[in-house]
Amino acid sequence: MYEIVKREEMAGGTVIQNEIRAPLIARKAKPGQFVILKADERGERIPLTMADADPERGTITVIYKVVGKSTELFKELKVGDSYQDAVGPLGQPSRIEKVGTVACVGGGTGVAVLYPIASGLKRAENRVISIIGARTADRIILEEEMRAISDQLFICTDDGSRGHHGFVTEILKRLLEEESLDLTVAVGPVPMMKFVSDITRPYGVKTVVSLNPIMIDGTGMCGGCRVTVGGEKKFACVDGPEFDGHQVDFDQLMQRLGAYQSEERESSEAHRCRLDR
């Protein structure tokens, strides 16, 4: 069993942070890797990136957005409750090296996945310029944590309630014109990562994205997480989740992510009905 030792609600309760006791995983975890959690015996296997891992405390931290049945079930777990299963660390760690100036771009809950990568890049003595965005000011997460590891931090909101009124890509475009960037790392909604990759391509700035296809086993056996990168078939759980954004077939990824939407909606509605009764 994997006990929740700390729990925090963020972004008006739409995002939950759980610190979970998992000493063996914490000892091995590296930035960019993920775990698969299962709440109970009949639970769905849910992949979540580790936003942090503390080998001394023997804990890992995940930050997830409540989007459907399983994350709604996860939200019901309190401090002292346990996840039945946790598998990890899974996936390839981020490639952290000194390259020079790096733009770290995060949208919505993607900032949780971006944070350990940006933090590692800073520790590797890169100049880190971060751009984080959300729909509204109250949906911005990890602002102080990102500020602490960034040389410069830009905030963007879709409605202008905080920072730049508009998209993260508008600030990135300005940076590309003004600065010489050596690397861009983008994590967030698929359309955002696609747009970032389209913007950096003509400037020849290497762009790394973290992909989130539907995963089941997380060990390269089921094929559920198949993505096309540079015309080749890759399994995001073992070959990724990070890939060269200029090579990713984002349209295929978006199509595959929506494959079970009607079943997911049905299952979430049935869960809410049971809660209402």
Residue 68 found at the interface with Mg ion (CB under 5 A)? yes
**Minimum distance, C-beta of residue 86 to ligand FAD, in the bound complex (Å):** 14
H-state helical runs in 124-214: 143-148, 168-178, 190-200
> What does the block give as tokens for 104?
């770290």
> What does the block give as tokens for 102?
């790096």
The SS3 call for residue 100 is coil
Which one, 180 or 219, has the nearer CB to ligand FAD? 219
Position closest to ligand FAD via CB: 68
Residue 85 found at the interface with ligand FAD (CB under 6 A)? no
Q: Is 145 exposed, middle or buried (0-12, 13-18, 19+ CB in 10 A)?
A: middle
**Minimum distance, C-beta of residue 252 to ligand FES, in the bound complex (Å):** 15
Residue 70 found at the interface with Mg ion (CB under 5 A)? yes
Q: Which one of 156, 237, 248, 253 is in contact with ligand FES (CB under 6 A)?
A: 237
Q: Which one of 7, 30, 57, 65 is in contact with ligand FAD (CB under 6 A)?
A: 65
Out of Mg ion, ligand FAD, ligand FES, none, what residue 46 binds, judged by CB under 5 to 8 A for its kind, is: ligand FAD
- What are the strands, taking DSSP E only, across the chain? 2-10, 15-21, 34-38, 46-54, 59-65, 82-83, 85-90, 101-107, 127-134, 152-157, 164-165, 183-187, 207-210, 226-229, 232-235, 242-244
**Can you give the binding site for ligand FAD, defined by CB under 6 A?**
34, 44, 46-49, 62-65, 67-71, 109, 112-113, 212-215, 241, 257-258, 261, 264, 268
